[in-house]
Amino acid sequence: MEYRKLGNTNLQLSAITYGAFAIGGNMWGGTEKKEAIDSIHASLDRGVTTIDTAPFYGFGLSEEMIGEAIKGKDRSAIQLLTKFGLVWDGSNKGKGEYFFDAEAGGKKLPIYKYASKANVIKELEESLQRLGTDYVDLLQLHWPDNSTPISETMEALELLIQQGKVRAAGVSNYSVTQMKEADRTLHLTSNQVSYSMLNRSIENDLVPYAQETNTGIIVYSPMERGLLTGKYFKESKLKDNDHRNGYFGQFDLEKVKAFLQAIEPIAQNKKASLSQLVLRWTTLQPRISVVLAGARNAQQAIENAATMDLSFGSDELRFIDQQLEKLSVPVTQ
């Protein structure tokens, strides 16, 4: 495994980071606790020391399972990344910014973006309890909250760092404009954003900004929620409550299928899967600090960890870029 320094901190994160959204179950058609915990153990055993989660993932379940999985292990050897700012239990008492309705127990549950100072502190305390720890390595705002001044949110993060409950502060899904405003109060360590072979918009603005300011970029959805594994085109039936039924509709699926068929021989020649090829390509892109990879069982976790064993020649990378051009996805110069 390769370890990378995150932004302006001393945090060393594993280049492949365990993404814990799917094991939460909500929006993913449920979860299986034993398999989820086994996947965390398998990741740690193979050098994936960084775990990224959030209270919203399973409405606390993801954090609880992580806490159970790491109990008794050397906490200093594990980097826990979590988030705040999505509220679902009504504790905001009507405050915040309505986001969407999530499904919970067959019912619709309103989700609000809420990042007031008091809520940041409250959510962290709840996360610490679920994770079974007294600090997190990186605390991130999950989504921008337009109802709360950015400076107020940043002041809360600064306080938590001073108290030793948070080692570093970051955001997720922030624009460069929002990052600049936040930096007036607190220099952000990182921005966690969506990035993949099919979605490279951050190369236009966030990547140059991160270079100038020594800010880390944490990537989520590098596999476009499983689409780039190629499995969807062979096993296309998803559960009715799987959010990907709608999510995949934004892509030209015939072009994506042709792209995957074109690059699959590269993976086959390396005795690797398409998933591993795509993940490894993502880790090699400029200014990308670490890449989140979800796993719902031990075998998937083992495969994700082995991604970093892959290497590409210049001809192979050039061929991949040529195929990406056919998808009308801009290529970094």
- pLDDT at residue 331 greater than cutoff 90: no
**Residue 241 has what pLDDT?**
62
- pLDDT at residue 102 greater than cutoff 80: yes
Q: Is residue 176 within 8 Å of residue 201, measured between CB atoms? A: no
**Residue 3 has what pLDDT?**
98
Provide the residue count of the chain. 333
What strand order describes the sheet that includes 97-104?
86-87, 107-113, 97-104
**Residue 94 has what pLDDT?**
76
Nearest by Cα to 187 from 147, 157, 142, 145: 157
Summarised one tens digit per residue, pLDDT across range 192-217 is 999 999 999 999 999 999 999 999 99
Q: What percent of the chain has pLDDT over 70?
A: 93
- pLDDT at residue 333 greater than cutoff 60: no
Query: 196: which DSSP letter?
Result: B
**2 three-state secondary structure:** coil
What b/e sequence results for 203-231 when a residue is b if at least 16 CB atoms lie within 10 Å of its CB, and e otherwise?
A: beebbebbeeeebbbbbbbbbbbbbbbbe
**Residue 291 has what pLDDT?**
98
Q: How far apart are the first and last CA of the chain?
A: 27
- pLDDT at residue 326 greater than cutoff 50: yes
**57 labelled catalytic:** yes
Instruction: Specify the higher pLDDT residue, 32 or 3.
Output: 3
**Residue 25 has what pLDDT?**
58
Least confident of 121-135, 206-220, 241-255, 259-273: 241-255
pTM value is: 0.92
Summarised one tens digit per residue, pLDDT across range 42-99 is 999 999 999 999 999 989 999 999 999 999 999 999 999 999 999 987 777 778 999 9
Least confident of 59-63, 173-177, 178-182: 59-63
Nearest by Cα to 141 from 195, 102, 178, 101: 178
Q: Which domains, ranges and CATH numbers included, belong to the chain?
A: 3-226+278-311 (3.20.20.100)
Q: Which helix (H) or strand (E) holds 255?
A: helix 253-269
Catalytic hit among 18, 57, 114, 209: 57
What distances in angstroms separate CA 210 from CA 7, 170, 189, 265, 279, one per listed residue? 8, 13, 10, 34, 21
Instruction: Specify the higher pLDDT residue, 121 or 34.
Output: 121
